[in-house]
A and B are shown apart, each in its own frame.
Chain A
């Protein structure tokens, strides 16, 4: 280009604007869109079931599901089932998560524990825990014990894996700094290792609690008279789609609530991150 233009004066050279090519590849929060997707989808189903191009054997009418939900609330059946399920979830996952964090830290800190238990955890992790329910019924009894044990074991394994991974990823220079100032072993674990591993532990908690909800429902379907799982199973056996979907909605709300709670904890505990 320079050769051709060299003999012409500079102000006669063509001018083009530099095109912008740096956009994209960066997500930004967009408000309300998530809610709009829900509303549009439900409105479509409502329209379809009313107009008849969705048969009421395929999907229930959302307004009927809402009515069933209201009825559940008025009769008190909602709270009857939900309170039983919630206490199973809370107690079971509290046991599993606390044992998981404790053992995960030990695995992350001690070579011997690590060598001994990592293969064991790897062996338990992929086993569908629900397959062990009959065994747990014998070990821990037909009522609450077996359900607690199932949820505890189900939340335990992902918590252990997330925790020891997080402990391993704690910045070694921070630990060396602690040692160089003569901090005690316990101080280093409490003030450096544990807070440093917290982001990893909390993201593991999201997965653990989702698995906890799945196992809760499965256990209640296999052997319970009360609880959201039992309610859904009954509705399914009678092919009562409105009640089935009311039950499923409860589970979705439960999932969203748990995720919101963890998000809140993250904002509280991890406010030191950017």
Chain B
């Protein structure tokens, strides 16, 4: 299933946050949105997932979601959004309980996603016992459990330290290589974008507009840390963003 975002504009009262943003998320690809803070990239993502309504423009799902899909548009949040009173297993079951899929099928799904995220040994652990990286792996397992058509990832690695982030990038790459998923991936971290994005969309400062779209053809599993070509692309992205980021940084919050 493809996702198409067409001509989105939005304002909170007098504050214009998005101006005529259009982009396509083709099936089986990861599209990264980068931009300075406050450029409306998270707002755009919430709109793509139907959690917020844009003033103008439309968001279209094109084609059928994959077979067995329980929740076509599925979020992975920056702060993990795990229920602290449920175990790892309970958090994954939460999103299956509202569907009539039978106890056996849901047991299979839980075991499968736990195995895929290498969390099988932590089934009964509570979120407070887990490190940040583990929590985000639980959240990714939960997202995989509903077999989403498009994953909407809102700065999923931004709350993690640099080493954990590298490990999770590797995880995401191996998930994608084994079974390509479709994702709209919001981040402010350019190295994440060049490692994971098939397409990188740069938004300007508020009101967010598309400044540039970069496509990277190289397979994800051939992109490594410190790769000269990727560094070159990352530097180019930063050149595009630098003035925007500085101007955004110097803006008064309510000015």
Contact = CB atoms under 8 A, between A and B. Distances in A.
Name the residue among B73, B84, B128 with the largest chain A CB count within 10 angstroms: B84
A184 B98 contact: yes
B126 interface: yes
A261 interface: no
A34 interface: no
Interface residues of A, number: 19
Interface in B51-80: 51, 70-71, 73-75, 77, 79
Nearest to B152: A180
Contact of B95 (A176, A183, A195): A183
B84 A272 contact: yes
A174 B97 CA distance: 16
A173 B83 contact: no
Contact of A180 (B74, B86, B98, B128): B74
Given A180-B75, A181-B146, A273 B84 contact: yes
A195 B84 CA distance: 10
Q: Is the interface of A mostly helix, strand, loop or mixed?
A: helix
Contacts of B213: none
Interface string B70-105: 110111010101011110000000110110000000
A174 B152 CA distance: 16
A119 interface: no
B133 interface: no
Nearest to B52: A176
A177 B77 contact: yes
Contacts of B128: 272-274
B98 A187 contact: yes
A272 B95 contact: no
A192 interface: yes
Interface residues of B, number: 23
Given A182-B98, A187-B98, A274-B128, A176 B81 contact: yes
A27 to B, nearest CB: 22
A270 B126 CA distance: 12
A191 interface: yes
B83 A192 contact: yes
Contacts of B132: none
A257 interface: no
B124 to A, nearest CB: 12
A182 to B, nearest CB: 5
A179 B51 contact: yes
A191 B95 CA distance: 11
B7 interface: no
B85 A174 contact: no
Contacts of A195: 83, 85
Contact of A272 (B77, B81, B126, B152): B126
B98 A173 contact: no
Contacts of B127: 272
A187 B51 contact: no
Given A181-B74, A187-B97, A191-B94, A173 B81 contact: yes
Nearest to A186: B98
A181 B146 CA distance: 8
Contacts of B95: 181, 183
A272 B83 CA distance: 10
A93 B70 CA distance: 44
Interface of A: 173-174, 176-184, 187, 191-192, 195, 270, 272-274
29 contacts: A173-B81, A176-B81, A177-B81, A178-B94, A179-B51, A180-B49, A180-B51, A180-B71, A180-B73, A180-B74, A180-B75, A181-B74, A181-B75, A181-B94, A182-B70, A182-B98, A183-B98, A184-B98, A187-B97, A192-B83, A195-B83, A270-B85, A272-B84, A272-B85, A272-B86, A272-B127, A272-B128, A273-B84, A274-B128
Given A173-B81, A181-B75, A181-B146, 6 more contacts: A176-B51, A177-B81, A180-B51, A180-B71, A192-B83, A272-B84
